[in-house]
Amino acid sequence: MNAPVLSQSRCADCPIRHRAVCARCDADELEQLDAIKYYRSYEAGQPVIWSGDQMSFVGSVVTGIASLTQTMEDGRTQMVGLLLPSDFVGRPGREGAAYDVVATTDLVMCCFRKKPFEDLMERTPHIAHRLLEMTLNELDAAREWMLVLGRKTAREKIASLLAIIARRNAALTPGDDTDTAEFDLPLTREAMADYLGLTLETVSRQMSALKRDGVIQLAGKRHVTVPDMTRLLDEAGTDSED
């Protein structure tokens, strides 16, 4: 069943405005985007698109988290990525979806009708350039994630994932203190284990160890406070300037 369409709001008030595909658009270009956009909400666990399905839209995650999953011929599945606020869904010029996209949490997306968006890209270099920049950033992130999965220890993997979520959360509120971080973990520990290639027991053990060592503070299972981002990045084996 299709998710309900949300009421429209002004682009200037959008919480991801400075990071999304429209980040460099001027007022006239935003008006053109506004004419082809609509909002759609999904409940946690609801599919956004299945691999191979024809996509009638592209868009950006406004709030919430979605997972990218690939299914092998024998039915096994692997989570291959996360879509966080401001991340772009869909590929202009490509008819079908490459991955299953499923809402991990309650999700709101700003969607654009695909063909009008493709036409607008040809007339609006700001959009095309920004999308290219986001695609290259995504490629860099994928290469970095190969290192996380292939070479880092279980503790470093957990710390890396926490650091990524903390940094992306902080990026949505420019000017905030970057020495500390506080956020709700968008993944269950089972999902973290799947994404990181670890067992559930290992994830739970390493989360408890990071808490015991004062690297993070936990309220319940999901609310995370990072008192010192530099220390978390050190635990992740990540350059603080990266």
Domain assignment present for residue 220? The answer is yes
Q: Report in angstroms the alpha-carbon separations of 127 from 133, 167, 242.
A: 10, 24, 26
Q: What is the pTM of this model?
A: 0.78
Q: How confident is the model at residue 210 (pLDDT cuts 50, 70, 90)?
A: very high
Among residues 144, 179, 204, which one ends one of the domains? 144
Strand partners, 89: 59
Are 51 and 77 in a shared domain?
A: yes
Are 11 and 59 in a shared domain?
A: yes
Are 20 and 132 in a shared domain?
A: yes
Are 18 and 112 in a shared domain?
A: yes
Among residues 90, 110, 144, which one ends one of the domains? 144
Are 89 and 157 in a shared domain?
A: no
Given a contact cutoff of 8 angstroms between Cβ atoms, the answer to whether 208 and 169 are in contact is no
Among residues 144, 171, 205, which one ends one of the domains? 144
- 237 vs 59, higher pLDDT: 59
Are 134 and 161 in a shared domain?
A: no
Are 135 and 170 in a shared domain?
A: no
Structurally, how many domains does the chain consist of? Answer: 2
88-92, 138-142, 187-191: least confidently modelled range: 138-142
Q: Domain containing 159 — which CATH number? A: 1.10.10.10
Are 226 and 133 in a shared domain?
A: no
**How far is it, in rounded angstroms, from Cα 180 to Cα 29?**
36
Domain assignment present for residue 242? The answer is no
Are 125 and 33 in a shared domain?
A: yes
Q: Domain containing 104 — which CATH number? A: 2.60.120.10
- 241 vs 115, higher pLDDT: 115
Given a contact cutoff of 8 angstroms between Cβ atoms, the answer to whether 44 and 95 are in contact is no
Per-residue pLDDT reduced to its tens digit, 169-190? 877 766 555 688 898 888 889 8
Are 116 and 231 in a shared domain?
A: no
Domain assignment present for residue 241? The answer is no
Are 117 and 169 in a shared domain?
A: no
Are 45 and 158 in a shared domain?
A: no
**How far is it, in rounded angstroms, from Cα 182 to Cα 166?**
7
Which of 54, 148, 125, 158 lies closest to 96 in space, CA to CA?
A: 54
Range of the domain at 127: 5-144
